[in-house]
Amino acid sequence: MKLKELDAPGYERVVLASDDATGLRSIIAIHSTKLGPAAGGCRMFNYENIDAAETDALRLAKGMTYKNAAASLPLGGGKSVIIADPRKDKTPELMQTFGKFVNELAGTYYTAEDVGISVEDIAEAAKFTSYAAGLSDGPFGSGDPSPVTARGVFLCMQVAAKYGLGTNDLMGKTVAVQGLGHVGMHLCAHLHEAGAKLVATDINATAIEEASSRFGARIVDPDAIYGVEADIFAPCAMGASISPGSIPQLKAKVVAGAANNQLADENCGQLLADRGILYAPDYVVNGGGIINVAAEILKISEQAWVEEKVIRLADTTDQILSQATTTHALPHIVADQWVDNILAKA
């Protein structure tokens, strides 16, 4: 395995690993260890090239710094990406080599599941590093973080609905869910139980069929999800879906979902506000998964600790949206200032 340091101003360390034997091409980006060792999941995606993978890793790593701080966790921000198609290229040997890569960073970065990576994949990586979390076994094994992420998103969505729709009761409200992966499907379950009407999309035919049969979701094409008549738009797929191109299509009054880095650029927050659409800052809303993983990293076995932290995400969302409403500020700017204050005191 070959390692190459990449230059990324503002980041503590960014490393590219390549291994001819297993086909691994992976980047680990560490944005900050100011609050503790960096923690963030591994994403496997068939990126077009190394530059695209690095760009995603950098955005995600910085997002993890803010996510962990907003969740009051003693962890910094980092992220890893593997350049591969998870449906075709994933092998136990590739994940084991990735584990060796993580181990080379000597505890400055902890990995876990993200898009394209399962509990079983992390278990393979963990054979070669003790800096992997999200495991199903062991005294502190936290398992798949997706259900906890979804619960946090649901609780924060209720808060956002209070500010954007005038009620936190989602009964009869229509939610457009973009992405039916592990988190998106669990979120649909919460919404269905709450009496919400679902419109959903995904490129996975099996997931579409499940959402339709289990929750009565109306299925639309991926490009059509933005323009459906809905009260809430929930991005639960890849990032940057809230863009200058998609915002004019939105008919929802609230954007609250599980995806990371939902805003394609800083101007998108203002574009949403100009259309009267309330944005719930993604890294606060989707912090449940890293809370679950953090319990494993910090060796905390009490489930009550996780639940308390997840509930606090909703409280934090409430405070951020309240301040944004009172001061006529953009919610994502208020959230960033909130976290910057935390980091400044560290």
- Mention every residue, 6+ apart, whose C-beta is less than 8 A from residue 233: 175, 176, 178, 225, 226, 250, 252, 254, 255, 256, 257
Q: Which residues on adjacent β-strands are paired with residue 26?
A: 17, 82
Mean pLDDT across 61-79? 97
Give the DSSP H or E segment for 18: strand 13-19
Q: Which residues are catalytic?
A: 79
CA–CA dist 316, 301 (Å, integer): 24
Q: pLDDT-derived band of residue 217, with 50, 70 and 90 as boundaries?
A: very high
* pLDDT of res. 127: 97
- pLDDT confidence of 143, banded at 50, 70, 90? confident
**CB-based contact 60:79 (threshold 8 Å):** yes
Look at 19 and 140; give whichever has higher pLDDT: 19
**In the predicted model, what is the mean pLDDT of the chain?**
96
Q: 147-166: per-residue pLDDT in tens? A: 999 999 999 999 999 999 99
Q: Does residue 186 carry a pLDDT above 90?
A: yes
Token couple for 297 = 């990293």
Distance CA 36, CA 241 (A): 30
Q: Which residue has the tokens 């209720």?
A: 158
pLDDT at 238: 86
Dihedral sign for Cα 71, 238, 114, 303, please: positive
Burial of 293 (0-12, 13-18, 19+ CB in 10 A): buried
CA angle centred on 333, ends 227 and 81, rounded to 5°: 70
pLDDT of residue 302: 86
Report the pLDDT value the prediction gives residue 145, as an integer from 0 to 100: 86
**Residue 137 confidence (pLDDT):** 81
Assign 140 a pLDDT band (cuts: 50, 70, 90).
Answer: confident
Rounded distance between C-alpha atoms, residue 310 and residue 26, angstroms:
31
Per-residue pLDDT at 44 = 97
Give residue 23's pLDDT.
97
> Does the pLDDT value for residue 141 go beyond 90?
no
pLDDT at 139 over 80: no
The rounded distance, in Å, linking the Cα atoms of 3 and 15 is: 7
**Strand arrangement, sheet containing 174-178:** 218-219, 197-201, 174-178, 232-235, 254-255, 278-279
CA 287 to centroid of chain Cα atoms? 7
Map tokens 């390549």 to a residue.
18
**What is residue 143's three-state secondary structure?**
coil
As a whole number, mean pLDDT of residues 105-115 equals 95
